[in-house]
Amino acid sequence: MSNISAAMVKDLREQTGAGMMDCKAALTEVAGDMEAAVDWLRKKGLSKAAKKAGRVAAEGLVALLVEGNKGVAVEVNSETDFVARNPEFQDLVSGIAAVALKVGSDVEAIKAAPFDGEGTVADKISATVAKIGEHMSLRRAETLSVGQGALATYVHNPVVPNKGRIGVIVALESTGGNAEKLAELGRQIAMHVASSNPVAVDAAGVDAATIEREKAILADKYREQGKPEAAIAKIVESGIKTYFKEVTLLEQPFIFEPSKSVGQALKESEGAAGGPIKVAGFIRYALGEGIEKQESDFAAEVAAQAGHAA
């Protein structure tokens, strides 16, 4: 049997997109012949991943996982929404979330981590791509924890429990003893975050560059309206306060009681919860946000398929 080096396995993996263990098995099977190894993988249906890699993957699933005082959100993308209903893809996403909960938010570290005895997470993704026949990718992951309090989750229109198109985790810090009340409030706030999409918990959490951009937009707007320069600064400051009410969680009108802000609703719930409550942070993932989707010409696709079939 030929000596199969790590470099050979790496080269074959880059050529085919197949998993590391599959590449090693292929090279072993054909005594290190690279061309024959490619053919071996093709015959096994394991070299599809590389061919799929150029396709836009903006569908898939957002998954949430909470254990104790730590939670994680992950987004795993596929090309079509049909794959989100595939149990094998769902199992892949669940496994990735479990790894991310232990490893943390770094995508490359997650992909390099072991996947339940099936090579690495990257290997498992490649194997699932080859089996299902669509490009898939782990796009992002984020963890959230709380010292004392509760982590609440909400998935909008779940495909299966804890997996769907929009997922939210909210961390509530509280020394109150009413865990049930805290969990109920946390879920309501998670639903609010899903609906209202705040950019930060409060004004202090809004990126400074974003604030400056908003100020510049407001100032230009009022200059075009002919407002005097001496008045613009005060008008802009007032406009920024309005902006914070629109985009920060604690100042937004609470969807369950629009006459109150989320911050007011939290304050009023402290008695029932048995102690002060603070929103320590939140994660909101919406599937495919920010991905530029390709527009497809359905008629052209059908014609192309007909041409291939001819």
Q: Are the C-beta atoms of residues 187 and 269 closer than 8 Å to each other?
A: no
**What Cα–Cα distance (Å) separates residue 223 from each residue in 216, 233, 234?**
11, 11, 13
The CATH number for 29's domain is 1.10.8.10
pTM for the model: 0.76
Count of domains for the chain: 2
| 184: nearest Cα among 252, 265, 247, 246 | 265
Count of CB atoms situated within 10 Å of the CB of 13: 22
| Per-residue pLDDT at 297 exceeds 70 | no
Of 184, 305, 201, 309, nearest to 256 (Cα)? Answer: 184
Is the confidence at residue 162, as pLDDT, over 90?
yes
What residues have CB less than 8 Å from 153, skipping those under 6 apart? Answer: 64, 66, 71, 162, 167, 168, 169, 170, 187, 190
Within this chain, do residues 47 and 61 fall inside the same structural domain, yes or no?
Answer: no
Among 284, 282, 218, 274, smallest CA distance to 250 is for 282
Q: Is residue 252 part of a domain?
A: no
pLDDT in tens, 189-220: 999 999 999 999 999 999 999 999 899 988 98
In this structure, is residue 188 part of a structural domain? Answer: no
Contact predicate 55/296, CB 8 Å: no
**N- to C-terminal Cα distance for the chain?**
44
177 vs 275: which has the higher pLDDT: 275
Query: Cα dihedral angle (112, 113, 117, 122), rounded to 10 degrees?
Result: -30
pLDDT tens digits along 228-257: 888 898 999 999 999 999 999 999 999 999
Sheet holding 70-78, edge to edge: 137-145, 70-78, 59-67, 163-164
Do 124 and 93 have their domain in common? yes
Looking at the structure, do residues 43 and 66 belong to the same domain, yes or no? no
Full domain range(s) for residue 15: 6-52
